[in-house]
Amino acid sequence: MKPATSIADVVQAAADLLKLTGFEFRNASMKTESCYYALPGRRELLRLSAHSKKKETGAFTNVVTKLTFNGNHQDRPGQMRISPDKIDTMVAGAIGRYMLACGRRDAV
């Protein structure tokens, strides 16, 4: 069984990967811990968050993909069991969805 990791540490690792691949921090939510990232020169946003069930405020209408980390019913609050490879996979998937969404918007 994988050791439990702080969700805050997992989100920070994901943010570091986004920055490593060229994404820039754009904004932080005033109501949740969500942060928004984008590639330079792009208006579309990728939301990085540690929650999934909270409603968005609607302040950012150009969010094209979301990357959310949260534990399950077996994890202690604020903890989750996830491997570094799984974090990489989730970030890679979010980047791919972001690129597809940007391409679709450009094609219109």
- Positions of E strands within 1-108: 4-6, 24-28, 35-38, 45-49, 63-68, 79-81
Q: Can you read off the two tokens belonging to residue 51?
A: 């929650």
Name the strand (E) or helix (H) holding 21: none
Amino acid at 43: R
Range 68-82 average pLDDT: 83
pTM across the whole model = 0.87
- Is the pLDDT reported for residue 58 higher than 80? no
Sequence spans of domains, the chain: 4-107
pLDDT per residue over 26-51, tens digit each? 999 888 889 999 999 999 999 999 87
